[in-house]
Amino acid sequence: MICQNCGHENDMDATFCDNCGARLGRDPNFGRRRTPTGKEGMSQSTKILIVAVVVLVGILGVTAGLLLQSDKNTTVTSDNNQPSVSESGEKVTYKADWHKVTSFSGTGDEYRSFNIKGQQFKVVMSATPMLNYNTNFMSIDVSDTSGIIGSGEINWGPTDALSNKEKTVKVTGPPGTYWVDVLTKDLESWTVTVYDYY
């Protein structure tokens, strides 16, 4: 016989519980083992397990949030409300390019100066010869205060076609003033254009 008070199993003819001394009564379920009906609530170990799972999920959520926040390069505010700034590395966005400095044309000899800002420049010379069945040419000398630092020449023979020709002279040097000396023979026209690289 099962005691209704403590659940102790007693002899079938017992009137009082051998364990707690409670009176053993007669009811329809008297003598049968009690089975949980779910009305008594959760056991203590189940409650502890649920609390532990909730705490673990909370910790994982906070950790994931902190990891995502640390991946962003944004301004973060500390506990004392003082801003903190994060900087990215330097990035060069400017790219040097050729810039036209001057251009001049003519038919005979000429001497000109120009100023350069970059560390290199180029002089583009082009010309068209006269029809005279003779040798025609154009030459340039580029110089600085120390003397000639670059030269170029275009020429046509007596039987060459009267086509326009072009040549480029590239010079590397510090910023400053340079000169170009144009020498010609029997040209219909010529053009010199100077480009600075910065």
Q: What is the pLDDT of residues 136-157, one digit of tens each?
A: 999 999 999 999 999 999 999 9
CB-neighbour burial class of residue 63 (10 A; exposed 0-12, middle 13-18, buried 19+)? exposed
Read out DSSP for 152-170? EEEEE-TTS----EEEEEE
- Residue found by looking up tokens 């007596």 in the block: 158
- 32: pLDDT strictly greater than 60: no
Give CA angle at 161 (160, 165), nearest 5°.
Answer: 95
Domains detected in the chain: 1-37 (no CATH), 98-197 (2.60.120.40)
Q: How crowded is residue 190: how many other Cβ atoms within 10 Å of its Cβ?
A: 23
- 54: pLDDT strictly greater than 60: yes
187 contacts 107 by C-beta, under 8 angstroms: yes
Structure tokens at 75: 């301004």
Q: Worst-scoring range by mean pLDDT, 22-36, 48-62, 172-186?
A: 22-36
- 171: pLDDT strictly greater than 50: yes
Tell me the C-alpha distance between 2 and 125, whole Å. 118
pLDDT at 13: 85
Mean pLDDT of the chain, nearest integer: 86
What DSSP state is assigned to residue 185? Answer: E
- Mean local confidence (pLDDT), 24-35: 57
pLDDT at 87: 79
- Residue found by looking up tokens 């000429």 in the block: 110
- 107: pLDDT strictly greater than 90: yes
- 127: pLDDT strictly greater than 60: yes
Structure tokens at 194: 């100077």
